[in-house]
């Protein structure tokens, strides 16, 4: 990671902190399970899920 990218991330973290927002929250609320998201239309917005992205691909048949 270059210094420029590192500095940008630090600035973003400082901006969040100045607004009282934790840059490393200990909780994250979700509104769907992953198997439910796979059934949603592609244009669906407001989806909050958590987890690691292991690969990117099409989940619809």
How confident is the model over 17-51, as pLDDT tens digits? 999 999 888 888 899 988 888 888 888 999 998 88
| Residue 26: predicted pLDDT | 84
| Residue 27: predicted pLDDT | 85
| Residue 19: predicted pLDDT | 96
| Best CA proximity match to 60, nearest among 44, 35, 43, 38 | 38
- Residue bearing the bigger pLDDT, 40 or 59: 40
Strands (E), 1-48: none
Is the pTM higher than 0.75? The answer reads no
- For residue 1, pLDDT over 70 is answered with no
User: What whole-number distance in Å separates Cα of residue 45 and Cα of residue 48?
Assistant: 9
User: What whole-number distance in Å separates Cα of residue 6 and Cα of residue 8?
Assistant: 5
User: What whole-number distance in Å separates Cα of residue 28 and Cα of residue 37?
Assistant: 17
């Amino acid at each position: 990671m270059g210094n420029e990218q590192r500095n940008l991330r630090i600035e973003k973290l400082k901006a969040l902190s100045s607004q009282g927002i934790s840059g490393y929250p200990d909780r994250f609320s979700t509104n769907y399970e992953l198997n439910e998201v796979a059934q949603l239309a592609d244009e669906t917005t407001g989806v909050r899920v958590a987890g690691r992205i292991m690969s990117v691909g099409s989940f619809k048949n």
